[in-house]
Structure 1
Amino acid sequence: MKKALLSHNPLFASLSDAELENLIAVMRQVDLPPDTVLFREGDYGERFYIVVDGQLDIIKAFDTPDERLLHTSGPGDCFGEMGILDPERLRSATVRSRSHARLLEMTKSDFDELLHRKPDIAFDVARTLCRYLHNTDKDNIRFLEEKNRQLAKAFEDLRNAQDQIIEKEKLEHELQLAREIQESLLPRSLPVLPGFDFGARVVPAKAVGGDFFDFIRLDKDSLGIAIGDVSDKGVPAAIFMATTRSLLRAEAKAGRSPAEVLQDVNRHLLSMNESQMFVTVLYGVLYAPTRLFSYARAGHTPPVVSNTSGNLIVPTMQSGQPIGILAKPELDSHVLELSPGSTMLIYTDGMTDARNNAGELFGAGRLYGEFSAHRFLSAEALCESLVKAVLDYYEEGTVLDDMALVAVHVRP
């Protein structure tokens, strides 16, 4: 079997049977257990091997991130030729046994002695050297081509990622500008009205949102108060919100009822609303001398009032429809008398529709409980406390809806 293996090797193809027998006699048998490294890339080598049985992996860049399998040698294959042809040459790859393997080993001195006895073998050596160099060049070219392909793909991925980062930064910048614009549309300061204390907060679910509040000075004794909730979120809702707020300010005049103002705002929205969005609004007029709050409700949640004893008053709701979609929406109009020491809260449904990780609603009951418990706070501190309670209820979840609220406290 060993003689057959040698006779098929290009280096020894010209040897006679007797010479092959002599060669086998001087070659040493090497037994390798599985997963054993015979030699490593970069080692000096003066030995040549022929596989008798078993399998061995020829590995480039062994035990590095760039490790790759060149091929697997089996019975009859040989490796390490350059170790006997050019002993100063370093091993070009690592050899590791995949299974138990038996090898025949020839040293440089064994080969030199053979070459001395059989000079014709030099031609076989030359052919083997040419074949080795040719195969090495092909392997190197394939490796470089693959590396170039990987580098080209990495460059393309990097360029795409850079484009995405630039686009994301541009979008974030635009959203930040939109948020700054939206915040600039909201009242910069709370109103001053003798005998009253005011608070307000807006928390958008996204960078910008569709909930809003506004205070509109009508005359020295009258203050318009509005709160609204657009049917969408994000930039489209913010644009619709800004339009609604501007129309409210344009139509709100002293002497006009809240219902008249909302009907005129609705008429304007219908003439320009191509997005099919709508908005729920509560708009009312607070008249300081009598502490009366006259309001009209267009599909919005009603106000709630806490007296000094902590009792809550929620007006009975009549039908009320949002504005922006119907030619003549039904509005719910009421008048509330705010007693000294009482506090009125107006809010959007984002305050009550919050859900915790278990999917449970925050609900009006929890909001009313928080309101009653913190009724002695200033109007601004009350708003901060209620928003914090809702945000804490979300736990680690994402804020899903915009929130807005206005508090009006009547000083004792």
Structure 2
Amino acid sequence: MATAPGTLRLTLLAIEGPVAEVTCARDPVYIGSDDQCALRLPDVEDGPRAVVMLAEDGAWVVEPADDSSELLLNGAALEGRAPIRDGDRLEILDYTVEATLDPTDDAPVVDQPLRATTSLDSLTRFVKFQLPHGSLVRRIDDPITIAPEYLRRLGRLNIEIAQFVQPEQLISAALERLLETFHGQRGWVGIRRVNYGPMDYVEGRLRSGETSDLSEIGDKLKPRVLDRSQFVMLPQVPDKPGSVMAGPLCGPDCVLGMAVLETGETGRVFTSADLDMFITMMNLFGVQLHAIFAQIAKVREATLDGEVNVAHAIQAKLTPRMLPQWPELQFGAFREPGKERTGDVYDVLRLSNKMAGFFVAHTSAKGAMPSMLMAQAQATFRACAMHLDSPHLVMRALNHLLYDGLGDRPLDCFVGYIDPSSGDMRYAQAGTMGSYIISARGEERPLTPNPATASLGVEKQPAHPTLSARLEPSESLALFTPGVTTARNAAGETFGEDRFVNILCDGFGQLASAMLKEMLNDFRVFTAGGAQPDDTTVLLAHRVE
């Protein structure tokens, strides 16, 4: 760690005005005619590396890098290392480098790597493209001056865009107002929801109303605008007619997009006053865009909450009010609705042949789909169980109902029949479902098929064979959905299947009600202050000795 020297901003000035600008954080900054210099001097007569700026002991210093160039610091010859202060001017032949220091707190800082959102390709393009003479570079927090004739226009613009609720509306209005205000020939706006990747919304337009793509010069300015949040004005585009302004659409936390405006062959040249007005308008657009995205997220969250609440209500109607019991076999069940998603359903039936039929199912489908799938799954199970269909036939019927070739109706499921008097059990399992027999000695026997079977609704003709097992006296059958294992504590640690199975094993030999009570107590202690995004469902069956 080291003490931060403050941010150093170097502006390269020529006779005609600012040529380029670079912001320095901690690394050495070379100035010269070499292509690798952070601040490149256009004339090759200047030394390849004429001077270097260094951060040392909480301050910036300047030092000649070679003896080929005459250097003046504030009018005096620079012959060795010297401190750099705010407002200092370094003269190199026909050029002047002006230093601006932005002080920081005295807190220690740690060298930070490049942002993950800044790609190598973006950095390469940034280095290769040099701004032409006379270009202006501004940051979002630089002071600006607004001409009086623009103030009323800004007020009207603020009222207009405050009514927009969709990004497309804002893009269209931004293009129209930018072209109108600055008499541009071509405009382009791109918007994205996050601070990386491609644009989610894009629109380009000529003054005549025809659509237009992002120009070559606009693409070259992307690294400056999107990665460094710079506003740039090019009074003249190299080898092409026209002037260009480009800048970011900034939200409170990140860059949400960018805009490029060009005059083309109109002959108009953008000025510093135009850039100040452009920055102000882009700030207005950025604030409204953030508000639009925030409102969209709020509506989406409310919609999801509504869908989950409806699913919970349907789920409650599907849940058995009382489980059937047998002298030799006792059932117990628990289900707690998920805070973010729902999709669990279970059932226990007394069959006509005096056997117990039961099933537990879970779907990871999105939106309003879980409500329908839970109801369909329970209805299909009950219809098949009424006819005493084997477990694999129940699975076949469910898959026939759910499969549509899209894979958007997945269902993990366990279907079983058990003879209370003998403990003989036939079952079939699809997808991810916790299924164990806990012995009278506290040892678990997994029932998951090997190899594992596919979820229902995913494949057209999957195989879900009927398997057999035996529940001995004093043994317990435990079935549970994935929500049990994904629940988290306050530290973000998941409950996990191993932990849950160990709790079940610790409660071996108990009646289903006692075992369930002990398990729930441990589960709730663990998840206190944590998160339970998915439904949690447990079905226990204990064979009485």
TM-score (norm 2): 0.42
AA of the residue aligned to 2:411: V
State which of 492, 496, 512 in structure 2 corresponds to 1:363: 496
1:348 aligns with 2:512: no
Indicate conservation of the 8 Å contact 2:410/2:455, yes or no: yes
State which of 443, 456, 470 in structure 2 corresponds to 1:311: 443
1:34-45 equivalences under 5 Å are none
1:283 aligns with 2:422: no
1:256-295 equivalences under 5 Å are 256-270=389-403, 276-295=408-427
1:406 aligns with 2:539: yes
1:194 aligns with 2:353: no
Secondary structure at the aligned position of 1:228 is classed as strand
Between structure 1 and structure 2, the one with the greater Rg is 1
With over 3 angstroms needed to count, the CA separation of the structure-2 counterparts of 1:364 and 1:190, relative to structure 1, is: same
With over 3 angstroms needed to count, the CA separation of the structure-2 counterparts of 1:300 and 1:193, relative to structure 1, is: farther
- Aligned-residue offset at 1:356: 2.9
- Aligned-residue offset at 1:196: 0.8
- 1:409 and 1:325 map into 2 onto residues whose CA distance is 33
AA of the residue aligned to 1:304: Y
- 1:377 and 1:182 map into 2 onto residues whose CA distance is 29
Percentage identity across aligned positions?
Answer: 26
AA of the residue aligned to 1:200: A
1:396 aligns with 2:529: yes
- 2:397 and 2:530 map into 1 onto residues whose CA distance is 40
Indicate conservation of the 8 Å contact 1:302/1:317, yes or no: no
- 1:261 and 1:221 map into 2 onto residues whose CA distance is 19
Indicate conservation of the 8 Å contact 1:345/1:408, yes or no: yes
- 1:411 and 1:325 map into 2 onto residues whose CA distance is 38
Q: Which runs of 5+ in 1 are unaligned?
A: 1-152, 154-164
- Aligned-residue offset at 1:329: 1.4
Secondary structure at the aligned position of 1:276 is classed as coil
The corresponding residue for 2:79 is none
AA of the residue aligned to 1:340: P
- 1:380 and 1:295 map into 2 onto residues whose CA distance is 23
Structure with greater proportional helix content: 1
- Aligned-residue offset at 1:207: 7.4
Deviation string, structure 1 residues 241-300 (Cα, Å, up to 9, x no partner): 2222222222224442101111111101225x8771201101011122321111001113
- Aligned-residue offset at 1:235: 4.2
- 1:288 and 1:329 map into 2 onto residues whose CA distance is 30
Runs of 4+ aligned structure 1 residues displaced above 4 Å come to 167-178
Indicate conservation of the 8 Å contact 1:209/1:233, yes or no: no
- 2:303 and 2:456 map into 1 onto residues whose CA distance is 34
- Structure number with the bigger relative contact order (C-alpha 8 A, sep ≥ 6) is 1
- 2:483 and 2:301 map into 1 onto residues whose CA distance is 28
AA of the residue aligned to 2:330: D
Secondary structure at the aligned position of 2:403 is classed as helix
1:12-91 equivalences under 5 Å are none
- 1:312 and 1:277 map into 2 onto residues whose CA distance is 31
1:143-292 equivalences under 5 Å are 176=309, 178-206=311-339, 209-232=342-365, 235-270=368-403, 276-292=408-424
With over 3 angstroms needed to count, the CA separation of the structure-2 counterparts of 1:377 and 1:238, relative to structure 1, is: farther
Secondary structure at the aligned position of 2:486 is classed as coil
The corresponding residue for 2:429 is 297
1:374 aligns with 2:512: no
Secondary structure at the aligned position of 1:407 is classed as strand
Larger displacement relative to structure 2 (241-250 or 177-186): 177-186
With over 3 angstroms needed to count, the CA separation of the structure-2 counterparts of 1:247 and 1:367, relative to structure 1, is: same
Secondary structure at the aligned position of 1:256 is classed as coil
With over 3 angstroms needed to count, the CA separation of the structure-2 counterparts of 1:178 and 1:362, relative to structure 1, is: closer
- 2:499 and 2:370 map into 1 onto residues whose CA distance is 27
Secondary structure at the aligned position of 1:352 is classed as helix
- Aligned-residue offset at 1:210: 0.2
- 2:420 and 2:466 map into 1 onto residues whose CA distance is 19
RMSD (Å) for aligned C-alpha atoms:
3.7
- 1:178 and 1:349 map into 2 onto residues whose CA distance is 18
- 1:234 and 1:363 map into 2 onto residues whose CA distance is 26
Q: Which runs of 5+ in 2 are unaligned?
A: 1-161, 163-297
TM-score (norm 1): 0.54
- 1:376 and 1:233 map into 2 onto residues whose CA distance is 39
Deviation string, structure 1 residues 169-198 (Cα, Å, up to 9, x no partner): 999788656533321111111112231111
With over 3 angstroms needed to count, the CA separation of the structure-2 counterparts of 1:365 and 1:275, relative to structure 1, is: closer
Aligned residues: 260
- 1:170 and 1:331 map into 2 onto residues whose CA distance is 36
With over 3 angstroms needed to count, the CA separation of the structure-2 counterparts of 1:318 and 1:238, relative to structure 1, is: same
With over 3 angstroms needed to count, the CA separation of the structure-2 counterparts of 1:321 and 1:392, relative to structure 1, is: same
